[in-house]
Structure 1
């Protein structure tokens, strides 16, 4: 007790002494705020008196205070480790507090580095202009979206795009089809990776993360702003690429790991002139890895260059070029189970590492993306954005393997298929953004139009049954010299030798109306038109599927901030649509299929953004779906329906510096409500009814071991149907991933161990997923 009493007395004495000093009228103080050019506060910036030991750091609101300073003239310095020092003169008067503010001209990239170093909530950054195509804060936006930033991808040592998506509540991305294409399941619907920097960018092959600044998952049907053809009724995935910034920086990343993983990426950024108005950023990557299955490999190359130029205070340009070349065998081998199988894992687990093909079955995927943007500031309230985008793939050598069990036997038939894909898209978009008032009511307005051409050059598919082999025994080697002559010529597959051209036009407008600083209403509308020039059979010249259709797509939303800039409630109505070239029995075109979503929820950014929460409940109803005409199955009728409803929760927390938590849960009920068959069933490839994710990491933010950290997470997906009839299900699974890292100003070392429990699980087509695997990553920061 005496020891405790003595300690308390000493503590009280120290506090009293500090308080007396703080109130010493013979001394003064300096306080201020650190922001960037747009007024955003910057935490973690060092502040010090030059030639003195007095120093501190800015807090979450960007403010700082230097106390107990002897009257006199000083120089206050603001500094970021490894960056320029900003100096300000100040005169301190006894008993007075002088104010010195700092405005940093640092780039967003450097600001992110400061946030990471300070241990702040680095996963909660939700700034984006893409979701609403105008600068709305998360608490102002009635739509739900999630952002996977480069910090989280780096911490988890992500080298596969699909592994990043699992960090989003209610989202699954384990699909990989034979030619390498991936897709994402959102709110019970499958969507492919078609959006890049807010524009359509058809990319057939897997996306490399080396050029991604972040991934945005935008929830709900989004036809109003993004049109159709590139999004699903569940949402869309927007790939945001890396942009240049105004300081020199080079990162060289080396990664090695399981299955002979060998990866190198280089990220080079540099200003090109003294004024820093011309900036260049170049990314290069090579990824090589074998498969965990008995055959399979990939050798992928990637190169991008982004150039920005600030012509003057009003006019700026950005050009982004990207090219890639992926080469390897079919990305995964999977089997279709035999009829009568009721336990997928029991039946298929024994073939988890079998491929039944060899590394001679090589495919090559070359492709490109071009993005150009011009921003012009008309005045302080109005600006325009003009965007051009084009991209495509010319992949004439693609091969796919499919194994089918023969009913009543233990043998499979091996089918080989050759693809020749040659397509590209061209898109133009013009947006006008502005702000004005009608009395006390504030309007933030978007008016835009876009054009998209989707062009398929001569393309064909050729397939044949190779042989029948034992499912259990070793299989013969497939040599391409012997296999290639066996593929039928396109003339043998006339319906698969074609070209097509489709033009889409859109005009849209959105008005975000602030009745008060807490209550806002979003009103949006799109008129969309599609001219399909049809599919041309290149063997006989026949053209089928020609049509011209149009549709309106409305969107409404409301937000009320219960606590200003901290807590809001929201509701939205969103629309999506899909066109079809089919006709009814009388030869009439069908009207567009429609999806309508109603959603409501809560968004919170509490405790100075240390706690970020989104809770939402949604109901999506799909109408006007085509189904077989019961009176004449050769034709279709348009009265089918489907429902998808559920609840999602996302929590991002930073309880104290260094500890970061992200967690999510998604509950989804999808049901075929009216169709020719399988009514009342959950559609295949709609994901699990329950999905959950969590990731927790902690890094030391002070001391000699500053930057040392550890992280771990669990990712869960409940059982999912193999088919629409729900006769067979893929089993539920839970993955445990972990990482250890050491992040210093000049280098970073990261080690990850994924699928720690060595869980056996499959994707939505029956694709076996990787067992336990590791990777070691070294980043050298120059």
Structure 2
């Protein structure tokens, strides 16, 4: 396992040497059941993504979806990308250069669909985000669709995906997993929690995974360790710390060139990258958090953090087929390095005191962060290779040279309030003011830049409880996105302001009687102004003034119609378009943005009895376009997955998962102006054993 076993060994030593296990030689027996309570859509569970007020999904006037770890495991999902794309309307547009990226409500990429861990974001560096990826150690995923700027700032007009980690507990428990699958796949993970002395508790989660991959020379591996500590010196004070590290080398798969405009099945497992390809992402994170209950209705919170991310690429990224020579032309030979550091602090005061006799929840705070980003690169020499083969090493005159050193300083003040105006009517409002300074010290041919930006974002909403289990809601909100990443703004885009997005949304959320299920329905319209467009007076330059919009309907439900059966279904219908956009002297008005499907659906059917369960699911992604001109398209596809599990006893479960059950051949993503496409993964089988103590 590529020298990764030390992580699991370290975790085991920490768990079994803790005071929690050393104090007593005999532990009280704990009964653990394989089955659990019906989770559904978790409408009545508090979330930390849609608001800082402790509202449930039902109380929040926005589209909030909570995906718990039990459901993720039942579906056989390992990565964040796999799990999130089963939520409503979210599709995966990840490519090796951006790490992991998503499309939501017609908006794409890491500058429009944000990602966070436990409510804290790592800033996007050159369009890339890489953490978290493996879902081991996380309790749930929370997804907010639509502008999330009042909580998370700029770069979230399409929504945000927040991974919430498992919490520490003084009651000792251990869980483990081992698995193996096709294409040389392996996986092992361990997690445990317990007490430290009289006032402390800890949690450690570690995992390793890897394999050969489904394309030639497609090997990959990943390893991480997550640690958490919590101390409660008094009943009103909590002090917590986390320290994590991950090292990931994913498959360097940049896609397959199209042959005469078509994707060839014969090239499904071909890899046209260089022989000495490299791609590695290392992330280290540390956080400290204090929670102080000043009074029964007033709480103080402070969180400080430090993140570091080192990324390396060495690849031939672009491929195109030359019919005259029958060769694949390779270009964009790039050796790139990112050195990114970020630290910050968020201070917050929250109140639950009544206001004029009405229940009221209030939060206000200030956050500050600094990010340092160094971008280095060197170009290699292009080359051609046969269609049925590959050869060649990276050929460059030097090691990567520094292009620029960017500093990003951000401050934000925020305020939120939720007032129960009547027993059935809740009014929710939020306001955020951001101050941003982006500096760039250029090297080589890159000039220096210095740019100040500011943004005022807000949300107004109302929730009306028709009954105890049924709520109608409406909201309008404003968000902002940068025209490009805020880290490393160059001379061309340094004068541009933030784009502005405005959303209107209405919906209904309902929990069915007798715990038979939950469902939600939402309709929305989002308009985004000031996107980049071509200068009509000088086509070689871009200006702000373009517009794009999307409108759609989203439906999701989890049903328990009869004993032992569960049905999950969600679907999205949207119309995404450019309202004003000029490219190459041609208007793109009315066109659909590239890599945006306008129809997306997911379905799962489960059957579960006391000691075994089985399920089958489908994921549908509609037609997409490979460029903004809409002259090339990517066909829709449906992929089926299946799973089965045998609960041997209260402490052991054996599970089998099959992904892409029918071995569907399809294009997952377009690249290089649709001259090449990344082929979706073929049928894969994984067998795992899960343990609980």
Give yes or no for TM over 0.5: yes
Partner Cα separation in structure 2 for residue 206 and residue 404 of structure 1: 32
- 1:538 paired with 2:443, answer yes
Q: Which residue is 1:259 aligned to?
A: 183
Q: 1:608 Cα deviation (Å)?
A: 4.2
For residues 424-448 of structure 1, what are the alpha-carbon distances to aligned partners after superposition, in whole Å with 9 as ceiling and x for unaligned? Answer: 2212111111023332333211101
What is the CA distance between 1:778 and its match in structure 2? 0.2
Displacement, 1:660?
A: 2.4
Residues 81-120 of structure 1: pairs in structure 2 closer than 5 A: 82-83=29-30, 117-118=35-36, 120=38
Distance (whole Å) between structure 2 residues aligned to residue 641 and residue 555 of structure 1: 21
Q: Are 1:195 and 2:116 an aligned pair? A: yes
1:456–1:501 CA contact under 8 A, matched in 2: yes
CA contact (8 A) 1:737 1:755 kept: yes
Structure 2 Cα separation of the partners of residues 723 and 250 of structure 1: 49
CA distance in 2, matches of 1:243, 1:755: 33
Offset from partner CA, 1:16-56 (integer Å, 9 cap, x none): xxxxxxxxxxxxxxxxxxxxxxxxxxxxxxxxxxxxxxxxx
- Name the SS for the 2:35 alignment partner: helix
TM alignment of 1:308-457, pairs within 5 A: 308-327=230-249, 329-330=251-252, 332-337=253-258, 341=261, 346-357=262-273, 360-396=276-312, 398-406=314-322, 408-415=324-331, 416-457=333-374
| CA deviation after TM superposition for structure 1 residue 359, in Å | 5.7
Aligned partners of 1:333 and 1:768 also within 8 Å: no
Give yes or no for the alignment of 1:567 onto 2:459: no
Instruction: Tell me if the contact between 1:179 and 1:400 (Cα under 8 Å) persists in the aligned partners.
Output: no
**How far apart are the structure 2 equivalents of 1:400 and 1:287?**
25
Q: Note if 1:764 corresponds to 2:669.
A: yes
Give the equivalent residue in structure 2 for 1:754.
659
Contact kept, 8 Å, 1:188 with 1:668, in 2: the verdict is yes
Note closer, same or farther for the CA distance 1:191–1:347 as it changes in structure 2 (3 Å cut). closer
1:300 match: 222
Cα distance in 2, alignment partners of residues 654 and 453 from structure 1: 48
Which consecutive unaligned segments of at least 5 residues does structure 1 have?
Answer: 1-80, 85-112, 701-705
Give deviations 1:167-197, integer Å, cap 9, x for gaps: 2111112x33225711111111124363111
Counterpart of 2:594 (choices 670, 676, 684) is: 684
Unaligned runs of 5+ in 2: 1-27, 124-128, 671-676
Determine which of 145, 168, 193 is the counterpart of 1:219.
145
Deviation at 1:298, TM superposition (A): 1.0
* TM-score (normalised: structure 2): 0.88
Q: Give the one of 650, 657, 678 matched to 1:745.
A: 650
Partner of 2:202: 280
Contact 1:201 1:390 survives alignment (8 Å): no
How far 1:328 sits from its partner (Å)? Answer: 5.4
For residue 665 of structure 1, the aligned residue among 568, 571, 581 is: 571
- 1:558 maps to 2:462: yes
Distance 1:138 1:180, change over 3 A: closer
Q: Deviations over 1:132-162 (max 9, x none)?
A: 0121122211011111111011112222221
2:112 equivalent to 1:209? no
For 1:65, the equivalent position in structure 2 comes to none
CA RMSD of aligned residues (A): 2.4
Bigger Rg, structure 1 or 2:
1
- Give, in angstroms, the shift of residue 780 of structure 1: 1.8
Superposed CA offset, 1:511-532 (max 9, x none): 1111112101111111111111
Residue 577 of structure 1: aligned partner: 480
Once the two structures are superposed, residues 272-315 of structure 1 have per-residue CA deviations (whole angstroms, 9 ceiling, x without a partner) of 23x4x311111111111111112210121111111111121110
How far is 1:711 from its partner? 0.8
**2:103 maps to what in 1?**
185
Matched, 1:596 2:596: no
Q: Equivalents in 2 of 1:237, 1:601: separation in Å?
A: 20
1:460 aligns with 2:376: yes
Partner of 1:699: 608
Deviations 1:710-752 (A, max 9, x none): 1111111111111111111111111111111023311111101
- 1:347 alignment partner, SS class: coil
Q: Which of 475, 484, 488 is matched with 2:390 structurally?
A: 475
More helix by share: 1
Distance 1:714 1:730 in 2: 19
Which residue pairs with 2:614 in the alignment? 710
Q: What is the CA distance between 1:557 and its match in structure 2?
A: 0.6
Deviation at 1:543, TM superposition (A): 0.8
